[in-house]
Chains A and B, each alone.
Chain A
Amino acid sequence: MNRDTNPPTPYPKDRGQVDQGRRQFIERIGQAGVLTVAASPLLGARAFAQQAAAPPAPIPGTVPNAAIMAEKDPAVKVLTERPLTASATAEYLHDEVTPTARLFIRNNLLTPDLDAATLRLRVTGLVDKPLDLSVEELQRRFPNVTLQAMLECAGAGRTAFSPVPRGTPWPATGGMGCPKWTGVRLRDLLSAAGVKGGAVHVAFLAADFGELATAPPVVRSIPLAKAVEPNTLVAWGLNGAPLPKVHGYPLRALVPGWVGSASIKWLVGIEVLDAPFKGTYMDDSYRIPAYPVAPGERMPKETVYTEAWPIKSIITHPAPGAKFRPGAPVMIAGRAWAGDLEVDRVEISLDEGVTWRRARLSRPRDKYAWRLFTYEWTPRERGYVTVLARATDDRGNIQPMVARWNPLGYFWNGIHRVGFSIES
């Protein structure tokens, strides 16, 4: 792919290193006939010409959105088509393990149609012995693990902010899920490669591409400490089946508890670096101000990375607008999770936060799996009821009523409220 036409970017050095690997990768699979047409400006122009009348014709080497959405439950609503984003809301997320058909979709670019038989995963950078593995070698050579873990977009819930920041318009309870993942531990790969002194971050390089050749590849890096955490995976399985194409087939990173963008899909490269990766997906996105700013303000110069999610919970039952009878018990239920920390408790309020009562919390299972909370309540009178759920983590952090506003709309963890009726 020719990137000479790239506009000047603020990240020449590091990106060049990883980009070279990606270029080689794209050339190779191009030879294998998978990506026969690399994205070209013409494709975008053609897409534009067709925009008014019909959606663009399928782009070679990609999976059309319609085929992706045909595999999803109708509760998963498309939010944007280019790039594809889609999500269900809390009342459809009651399953203990999020079914694949209900898992949200968040692409940055197109959905590449990759071939597991020819794909290679490279581990390079500050390592003693770089690795170059097929999917099959990866699966055979390292211990396989299955664990349940949260995946949640940094911008999940964004439209609950006021004013609504730019970016994917996730509904207040959209952009999150907790399925089961199967893969190998990233730490096992890194120790096979032998991490050298001076390693600080580990970058993930994705194979997805945009409609214009000038679109930079998606690269994100995480601190070495999180990379060697035993729950950080290179995954190929989702709920006991191969990853669907839109969720990263054949390989993706899984960085549980952290912003979803760290869990790079279509993973083809892992590079050990002496500093955080510099690139548009590190420096322009997934950042919050280093200090609080007024709602509606621009991003200040001083910013910090988004990493682990703060304490959060959603009410999955009852559904908004549900109807019950006086005297019959209502089961209030939902899920709570806490980024890298543990959920300590969940409380329920039925009077707009004046009084709180403790919900029953399920036992912790896998470290990054959300936990079920339940609270049984028997209404005595008819009328409209609002239920609020508030979780607290093991460090004493409590969910706020309203999350702190930030220009890109990350980390919405405001208290979820659901209204329902008691009718006699």
Chain B
Amino acid sequence: MRPPALILALGFPLLAGGEELKSGVPGAELARSKCLLCHEAGHIVRLRQSRAAWEDTVDLMIRRGAPISPEERGIILDYLTAHYGENGPAGPR
């Protein structure tokens, strides 16, 4: 293995930036515990979309295996729409 591989294998993230899901607000704990199970926050924080579009996204995640109950779905949708809604502040791009 070439030296860079060794260094990387020790656990340096490949992506700089380390985008985070907004914490310390209602629903944040739940959203972070569910939505970061399979992937990093970048997929989510990149987006600004309507509640309807977030519904589509979250339902897709449920079909892709996300363990989210109907009650949890509502809380997470409130959180996503509040912080990553279509009129929210511009995201990293």
Binding site for B on A (CB under 8 A): 5-7, 9-10, 41, 44-45, 47-48, 51-52, 54-55, 64-67, 69-71, 78, 80-83, 164, 166, 169, 210-216, 280, 284, 298-299
Contact = CB atoms under 8 A, between A and B. Distances in A.
A284 B60 contact: yes
A66 B39 contact: no
Given A83-B39, A166-B47, A6 B9 contact: no
B60 A55 contact: no
Interface string B31-51: 011001111101100110100
Given A9-B63, A70-B2, A280-B64, 18 more contacts: A7-B63, A7-B66, A41-B67, A47-B37, A51-B36, A54-B11, A64-B9, A65-B14, A78-B15, A80-B43, A81-B15, A166-B43, A212-B37, A213-B65, A215-B64, A216-B63, A298-B52, A298-B56
B65 A210 contact: yes
B61 to A, nearest CB: 10
Interface in B47-78: 47, 49, 52-53, 56-57, 60, 62-67
B42 to A, nearest CB: 6
Given A78-B14, A169-B46, A67 B9 contact: yes
23 contacts: A5-B67, A7-B65, A41-B67, A44-B38, A48-B36, A51-B40, A54-B11, A55-B11, A66-B9, A70-B1, A70-B8, A80-B40, A80-B42, A80-B43, A83-B39, A212-B37, A212-B66, A212-B67, A213-B65, A214-B66, A215-B38, A216-B63, A298-B56
B37 to A, nearest CB: 4
Contacts of B25: none
B8 A216 contact: no
Contacts, number: 101
B89 interface: no
Nearest to A285: B60
B13 interface: yes
A164 B60 CA distance: 18
B38 A212 contact: yes
Q: Is the interface of B mostly helix, strand, loop or mixed?
A: loop
Contacts of A166: 43, 46-47, 49, 57
A67 B46 contact: no
A10 B59 CA distance: 12
The 3 closest A-B pairs by CB, nearest first: A70-B5, A66-B8, A214-B65
A67 B5 contact: yes
B65 A6 contact: yes
B67 A214 contact: yes
Q: Interface range on chain B: under 10, 10 to 19, 20 to 34, or 35 or more? A: 35 or more
Contacts of A48: 32-33, 36-37
A117 B32 CA distance: 40
A44 B52 CA distance: 27
A164 B49 CA distance: 11
A299 to B, nearest CB: 7
Contacts of A71: 5
Nearest to B37: A44
A211 B11 contact: no
A64 B4 CA distance: 14
Contacts of A211: 37-38
B55 to A, nearest CB: 9
Interface string B76-93: 000000000000000001
A213 B38 CA distance: 11
Contacts of A55: 11-13
A284 B2 CA distance: 40
B40 to A, nearest CB: 5
* Most-contacted residue by chain B among A6, A10, A44 (CB, 10 A): A44
Contacts of B40: 51, 80-82
A67 B49 CA distance: 35
Given A78-B14, A78-B15, A216 B65 contact: yes
Contacts of B46: 166, 169
A116 to B, nearest CB: 20
A70 B1 CA distance: 8
B20 to A, nearest CB: 8
Contacts of B53: 298
Contacts of B39: 80-83
Given A44-B38, A65-B14, A280 B33 contact: no
Interface string B1-28: 1101100110111110000100000000
